[in-house]
Amino acid sequence: MSKIGNMIKSLRIREDMTQGELAQKLNLSRSSISMYENNERKPPTELLEEIADLFNVDMNYITGRTDKEYYLDLKTRQIAQEILNNSELRALFDASRGATPEDLEITKNLLISLKNKERGGSID
């Protein structure tokens, strides 16, 4: 159980989210999040699924059954990670769940091209 609480906290911190913000997204109280993170309570399976979806990770990653964090397909995971690491593209990351590697690559390139156009560059 301790691994689950640690993982939830780690994912929340990685996303620069407070316990209150996570609680709001999950329609829970901040104290519930605190209890889960401190391993005072075990989240129900349905909540773990919701947390996995929110952070775009495999539920088995949260429970410690796998170290695969994002998409199972390596190429898709790499492209998604690129988007996540770029603060200007990060807002798109939530919308990218279920996308194919090709979809993500096209979207990433389009956004980069549009950004370059804003800066006076061309859309190549």
Q: Please state the domain extents for the chain.
A: 2-62, 74-118
**DSSP alpha helix (H) spans, 16-73:** 19-26, 30-37, 45-55, 59-62
| Segment of 35-39, 69-73, 81-85, 95-99 carrying the highest mean pLDDT | 35-39
CATH architecture of 2-62: Orthogonal Bundle (1.10)
Does the pLDDT value for residue 69 go beyond 60?
no
Is residue 94 very low, low, confident or very high in pLDDT (cuts 50, 70, 90)?
A: low
Q: Around 10, how many Cα atoms within 13 Å sit in the side-chain half-sphere?
A: 13
Is residue 30 very low, low, confident or very high in pLDDT (cuts 50, 70, 90)?
A: very high
Average pLDDT, integer, range 111-117: 79
Is the Cβ–Cβ distance between 98 and 56 less than 8 Å? no
Of 53, 97, 60, the C-alpha closest to 79 is: 97
Average pLDDT, integer, range 40-46: 93
pTM here is 0.56
- Better-predicted residue by pLDDT, 116 or 1: 116
For the range 108-117, what are the long-range contacts, defined as Cβ-Cβ under 8 Å and sequence gap of 24 or more? 108/79, 108/82, 108/83, 115/88
